[in-house]
């Protein structure tokens, strides 16, 4: 039996599995555990089940000590974990790919429609009791039928968004990725482009790449300047992929039509961030994978990853890179 620290309460299906085999402590706070407490809590642990909001670095692994066998992230993205530091210490790292693909793709589609059709200002209008008449010229949005969708990062979620928007709205699909994606090309005639060409051609740009050194601030002032004035930019990847100050400028100068963000920098977004007061910027509090189905499966996968690592077996969903 090993000692395991779980940094937030997750669905019981995962916790009960872990508790049947290990000595589990769950952080019950509404907010993530403060750093010094986290360092304290992991001491002597064999496994840590972490959230994307927890910084899992060399200091934390050293605080856990030599008993540490695995870090199971309750997310598919693992940019919060210093993978090299884990490798150096023979600590396995796991994630939860696939089971949140549909949930996250649905949020991206929702943001495309909601941002493109001005849901934010329109809902605000009703809530502020400003709705007076049927207006011929108010809240005029974008249509999507037959237009071009640019997927930045044609992986699992990017593919699922392309499938929805190609099948449902007949959108032409263009994409970027470091490698060609034959399945997307055969399923919906997707065309691989360089980022600049994708930005120039797309009516909707949806971000689905992981956060890495190559993708940090991938969309900055120069890139926003290449986009069409009717373009809708959606980010369900990670906040740091967009230069947020540049996006606020582009929206205030109407250089693009609207943005829909499920992720920001930091999270929660600063009260003073100019994006908060942009009517054409719709912001959700990082709810991409927030369905009962996805979270139950993520809990089971993360628990299975930790159990395997503590037993000295390869994690079923281990990050290899």
Identify residues 68-87 at the interface with ligand NAP (CB under 6 A). 76-77
User: By rule CB under 6 A, what string of x and - marks binding of each residue 92-131 to ligand NAP?
Assistant: -----x--xx--x---------------------------
- Catalytic residue flag (residue 159): no
Q: Where are the beta strands (DSSP E) in the chain?
A: 3-6, 23-26, 47-50, 70-73, 92-94, 148-152, 172-176, 191-192, 204-207, 232-235, 258-261, 281-283
Contact stretch for ligand NAP (CB under 6 A) within 66-74, 185-193, 204-212, 252-260? 204-212
Q: Which listed residue (49, 154, 232, 283) binds ligand NAP by CB under 6 A?
A: 154
Nearest to ligand NAP of 64, 173 (CB atom): 173
From the list 108, 221, 227, 101, the residue with the least C-alpha distance to 168 is 108
**Nearest-angstrom CA–CA distance, 85 and 83:** 5
Q: Which listed residue (89, 156, 163, 200) binds ligand NAP by CB under 6 A?
A: 156
Tell me if 92 sits within 8 A of 70, measured CB to CB. Answer: yes
Identify residues 261-320 at the interface with ligand NAP (CB under 6 A). 262-263, 286, 288-289
Q: Which listed residue (73, 80, 215, 244) binds ligand NAP by CB under 6 A?
A: 215
Q: Determine, following the binding rule CB under 6 A, whether residue 234 of this chain makes contact with ligand NAP.
A: no
**Nearest-angstrom CA–CA distance, 220 and 246:** 6
Describe the chain by its helix, strand, coil percentages, rounded to 5.
40, 15, 45
Q: Determine, following the binding rule CB under 6 A, whether residue 147 of this chain makes contact with ligand NAP.
A: no
Identify residues 167-196 at the interface with ligand NAP (CB under 6 A). 176-179
What's the min distance (Å) between Cβ of 263 and ligand NAP?
A: 5
Within 10 A of 124 (CB to CB), how many other CB atoms are there?
A: 12
Selecting among 208, 238, 255, 295, the annotated active-site residue is 238
Q: Determine, following the binding rule CB under 6 A, whether residue 61 of this chain makes contact with ligand NAP.
A: no
Helix (H, G, I), strand (E, B) or coil at 26: strand
Q: Residue 148: enclosing H or E segment and its boundaries?
A: strand 148-152
- Answer left, alpha or beta for residue 44, where phi above 0 means left and psi between -120 and 50 means alpha: left
**Nearest-angstrom CA–CA distance, 163 and 170:** 10
- Catalytic residue flag (residue 267): yes
Selecting among 40, 267, 293, 311, the annotated active-site residue is 267
Backbone angles phi, psi at 288, to 5 degrees: -50, -50
Q: Contact residues for ligand NAP (CB under 6 A)?
A: 76-77, 97, 100-101, 104, 152-158, 176-179, 208-212, 214-215, 236-238, 262-263, 286, 288-289
Among all residues, which ones are annotated catalytic? 238, 267, 286
């Amino acid at each position: 039996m090993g000692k395991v620290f779980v940094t937030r309460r997750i669905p019981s299906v995962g916790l009960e599995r872990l508790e049947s085999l290990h000595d589990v402590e769950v952080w019950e706070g509404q907010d993530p555990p403060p750093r010094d407490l986290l360092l304290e809590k992991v001491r002597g642990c064999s496994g840590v089940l972490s959230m994307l909001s927890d910084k899992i670095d060399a200091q934390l692994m050293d605080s856990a000590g030599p008993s540490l066998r695995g870090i199971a992230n309750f997310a598919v993205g693992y940019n919060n974990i210093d993978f090299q530091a884990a490798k150096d210490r023979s600590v396995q790292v796991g994630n939860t790919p696939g089971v949140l693909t549909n949930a996250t793709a649905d949020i991206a589609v929702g943001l495309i429609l909601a941002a493109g059709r001005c849901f934010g200002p329109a809902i605000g209008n009703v809530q502020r009791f400003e709705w007076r008449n049927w207006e011929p010229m108010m809240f005029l949005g974008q249509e999507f039928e037959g237009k071009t969708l640019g997927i930045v990062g044609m992986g699992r979620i990017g593919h699922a968004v392309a499938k929805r928007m190609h099948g449902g709205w007949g959108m032409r699909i263009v994409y970027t990725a470091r490698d060609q994606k034959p399945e997307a090309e055969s399923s919906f005639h997707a065309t691989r482009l360089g980022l600049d060409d994708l930005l120039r051609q797309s009516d909707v740009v949806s971000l689905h790449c992981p956060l890495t050194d190559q993708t940090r601030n991938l969309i900055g002032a120069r890139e926003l300047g290449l986009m069409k004035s009717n373009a809708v930019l959606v980010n369900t990847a990670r906040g740091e992929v967009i230069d947020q100050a540049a996006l606020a400028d582009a929206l205030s100068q109407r250089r693009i039509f609207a943005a829909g963000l499920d992720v920001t920098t930091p999270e929660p977004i600063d009260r003073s961030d100019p994006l908060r007061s942009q009517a054409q910027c719709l912001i959700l509090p990082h709810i991409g994978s927030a369905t009962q189905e996805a979270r139950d499966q993520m809990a089971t996968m993360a628990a299975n990853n930790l159990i395997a690592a503590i037993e000295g077996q390869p994690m079923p969903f281990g990050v290899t890179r």
